[in-house]
Structure 1
Amino acid sequence: MTVHDVARVLPAVDELREHCRGLAMLEAVLSPEWDTRFYSFDACWGEGEQMASMRDGVGGEYSIVFSVDGTYVRGFDHASPMSPWARMDVPLVWPGVLDEVPKVFLPYIREPAFCEEDGVLTVTCCLWRQAADPVWRAGSIVFPETDDGDPDGADFLFALLVDRSPEVYAQWASEYYEVPVDVEAVRHILAGRPLTQEVVAALNPDVELAGLAEDITEIGYPA
């Protein structure tokens, strides 16, 4: 699966945003320490902007910026042959990944939070959807051949955005955190229902609802 396949199956912006919000809330409950979380969500990232993000701790990450102008998605797989550092001494973004990004999203290409210190954008896949767009879009890219069929990292980076079922998240989280994960509690949170102590305890008995107040505010999750 490449970014083109992801663009065909991602949901509408509002549904994607709420799913990302739910993923971040689940992570806040399962992993009280922010540094060990996979998924996060900042409801006040910038003026009129919200950002969902993922970091796997081993060089894979994405950022999704939601704004009034639309939604911009950047993904980076450090092991991808399309990494800016994979082909030559001078790092270059793979041809086509950013060439067709609309002007309204160009500030995100220069956003320091998404770049290395030398200003090179950490990106192997990118897609976007302007406010008036009926579908998600990505650039015209000639992908390198790979044995796993995932040349740009989109398959693993966006797996939990493509398959948004509670069961899939619960299975992933149980393997990552090495604890049983209650599917019904996951379903409750991914549906955006207000948190209760019972739901929190079903996921992590060591966490109190009151202790999540800061995370709830940052994520913008229903209290």
Structure 2
Amino acid sequence: MDTVHTTATLLPDPAELRAHLRALAVLDQAICRDPRFSRYSFSTTWGPGTEAALMDNGSGDDFSVLFTPAGVLVRGFDHESEMSPYGTDDEQVWPGVIDEVPATLRPLLDDPAFVDEGLGAPRVTVCLWWETGGSAWRTGSGIAFPSGSPDPDGSGHLFRLLTDRSPEAVHAHFEEDYGRPVPLDTVRYVLAGHPLTPEAAHGLNPAALSD
């Protein structure tokens, strides 16, 4: 069973995670024929002192990784999960998922971008955090996951490019997602932190304008 506890052991430290998420956003927006419809994005101006890496697959699943002076908060939402607030009797977050989030990071979950007005609760099925000065990812410790699902909170598929950060995994994802060849060497180049050159951008999306 894949759960948030598995994800916590596979995520890198915040600095490496930030660099990887920025690279995913660069790759996705270069490969996508219309950047408005890319899945991954990265905002350096999300809020005062806050950066946000976002993923939205367009089918109801999304995640956010918020980098703040107080630490990093990872929030994910799987719309088919039994742990979705939409599926609980009281329409609240599944017990234990966010109960232990530190007070310094808890307000991030109440951002209007992550709360549906009709629900009145954060849109979340999985949550992790790393406080500044900490040494590991933390999660809710007493979550009773529903049985019968290999991925009850959605963490397995939501964060698969964060837990397997290999160029091969990223390359396979984008080729499958966009249904066309993507040069593996360019994926390696961007994931290594190199800037996207016009030549590399053209290789990722031959239809893109030269400028």
TM-score calculated relative to the size of structure 2: 0.95
Report the counterpart of residue 66 of structure 2 in structure 1: 65
Counterpart-to-counterpart distance in 2, 1:83 and 1:124: 6
Q: Check if 1:101 corresponds to 2:98.
A: no
Report the counterpart of residue 139 of structure 2 in structure 1: 138
Q: How many correspondences in the alignment?
A: 208
SS of match in other structure, 2:85? coil
Report the counterpart of residue 167 of structure 1 in structure 2: 168
Q: Check if 1:123 corresponds to 2:129.
A: no
Unaligned runs of 5+ in 2: none
Counterpart-to-counterpart distance in 2, 1:203 and 1:138: 36
Counterpart of 1:83, as a letter, is S
Q: Within 5 Å, which residues of 2 pair with 1:39-50?
A: 39-50=40-51
Contact 1:200–1:208, Cα closer than 8 Å, also in 2 = no
Report the counterpart of residue 196 of structure 1 in structure 2: 197
SS of match in other structure, 1:17? helix
Counterpart-to-counterpart distance in 2, 1:209 and 1:126: 40
Question: More deviation in 40-49 or 200-209?
Answer: 200-209
Q: CA RMSD in A?
A: 1.2
Counterpart of 1:137, as a letter, is R
Cα displacement (A) at 1:86: 1.1
TM-score calculated relative to the size of structure 1: 0.90
Unaligned runs of 5+ in 1: 211-223
Percent sequence identity over aligned pairs: 45
Contact 2:3–2:153, Cα closer than 8 Å, also in 1 = yes
Runs (4+) of structure 1 exceeding 6 A deviation are none
Counterpart-to-counterpart distance in 1, 2:121 and 2:42: 24
Deviations 1:57-112 (A, max 9, x none): 11110000001111000000010000011132x31110000100000012112111
